Chains A and B, each alone.
Chain A
Amino acid sequence: MNEILLVEDNPDDVELTLRAFKKSRVMNEVVVAHDGVEALDYLFATGSYAYRDPNQLPQIVLLDLKLPRIDGLHVLERLRAHPKTRLLPVVILTSSTEQRDLASGYRLGANSYVRKPVDFQEFVEAVRQLGLYWLLLNQRPPVID
């Protein structure tokens, strides 16, 4: 069972997302990257994650848009530009429903775009459905060497 990569800089949101995963009985390990640089280092096994096997990819990336250093859309752009991560499922999980975020997110190849609701119960439900779909129902793309 591969891990979930949660790219999120707000510690409150991290805690709430982890709680929501626990409540919806998602058992996958959750790795947290706190900004875009950390996320890219993790996925490409560089920098502080140089020890990782770059062929090991998470089951799903949950990507916030507003992030320190490299923002979410740039992370997505970099992932789509690289053959290894081109098909990696990425779900944008963010506060905004601004048209331009939606448009850029999909244009850059996001697989899905989910708004984080303020209502925590709705948030738990959203995370439960995300888990059900992306971790159980959806078949992963083949690994490209």
Chain B
Amino acid sequence: MTPERRRRRLRRRHALGAAGLVLVGAVGWFAYADPAYVPALIVVALAVLAGTHLLFAREISRREVVERALHDANRELESFSYSVSHDLRAPLRSIDGFSEALLEDAGPALTPETRSHLERIINAARRMSLLIDDLLALSRVSRAEMKREQVDISDLAAHIVADLRRADPDRGVVVEIAPDLRAVGDGQLIRLALQNLIENAWKFTSRKPRSVIAVGRARDEDGAGAFFVRDDGAGFDPEYTDKLFGPFQRLHAASEFPGTGIGLATVQRIVHRHGGHVWAEGQLQQGACFYFTLGDL
């Protein structure tokens, strides 16, 4: 059943309950006016009350079943992530470690081709490890308890850009951050979303000698306040816009721009958890702009 239908049914039952109360009031009034009606009216009123109670009780027990299922599913997800975190990395450590050991110990005896194969194995293990880390980060976003606090988005963006500049001081990127961008939400999650968006902008402008990244304020189609992160980098083919936010979806070759394809899925999940929405505009080679609202959490 859709949530909309469930809500409608619940409303119907509330109406029924209200009708029951009105009836009880009427009974009282009739009884006061003419005592002869009392026994019959009491029976009718009790029947209506019992009926509405039964309906409510059934609704509540249904809700409990759904909630318990949700709770179980969450717990299962939790223990799944936990064992992914512990157990999936160990075999990768062996693959990477022993390939390295082979390279070192048998180094001079290996042909260039064999060396290259070993290096491919090592690279694949490291890439899988990155994928696992990103997947775990994504699932952590869904599991994290949400805080509600004042968040200074301008300040967060400035810090993220400063980190990027420190790591990559030779890039000619002009970053324009609008002042006083503020929101209410979970600071850590919003930071993670911004970080993904700004790092993407930084990455997809890396082929240009000069580029501009902007963080600012916008409106969605309903006129609600939104934020944006815009760049003038590689952009994307608008035909694939709906693929942008799917986990593991990538619109560029890994050799061109590295990444696991989890970043925008993480952004979307964070925005959804805040009751907001996220969308993108772009053209190939003409930059991209990502918008998000944070709802009224």
Contacts and interface: CB of A to CB of B under 8 A. Distances in A.
A118 B129 contact: yes
Interface in B62-120: 81-82, 85-87, 89-90, 92-94, 96-98, 100-101
A95 interface: yes
B86 A12 contact: no
B89 A118 contact: yes
Given A10-B90, A12-B90, A13-B90, A120 B97 contact: yes
B93 A116 contact: yes
Contacts of A121: 100
Interface string A93-130: 01111111000000000000000111111010000000
A31 interface: no
A12 B82 contact: no
Contacts of B92: 118
* B interface majority secondary structure: helix
A123 B100 CA distance: 11
B126 interface: yes
B191 to A, nearest CB: 16
Contacts of A66: 86-87
Contacts of B93: 12-13, 16, 95, 116-118, 120, 123
Given A12-B97, A12-B98, A120-B97, A95 B129 contact: no
Contacts of B89: 95, 116, 118
B94 A16 contact: yes
A7 interface: no
Interface residues of B, number: 19
Interface residues on A, range: 20 to 34
A118 B82 CA distance: 17
Given A118-B92, A118-B126, A119-B126, A16 B86 contact: no
B274 to A, nearest CB: 21
B96 A120 contact: yes
B75 to A, nearest CB: 13
A95 B90 CA distance: 7
Contacts of B97: 12, 16, 19, 120, 123
B125 interface: yes
A95 B94 contact: no
A5 interface: no
A61 interface: no
Which interface residue of B97, B98, B125 has the most chain A CB atoms within 10 A? Answer: B97
Nearest to B101: A19
Which interface residue of A16, A19, A95 has the most chain B CB atoms within 10 A? Answer: A95
Nearest to B127: A118
B67 to A, nearest CB: 23
B208 to A, nearest CB: 30
A98 B100 CA distance: 27
A118 B125 contact: yes
A76 interface: no
10 contacts: A12-B90, A12-B97, A16-B98, A66-B87, A96-B85, A116-B93, A118-B126, A119-B96, A119-B126, A120-B97
A120 B85 contact: no
Contacts of A118: 89, 92-93, 96, 125-126, 129
Nearest to B94: A12
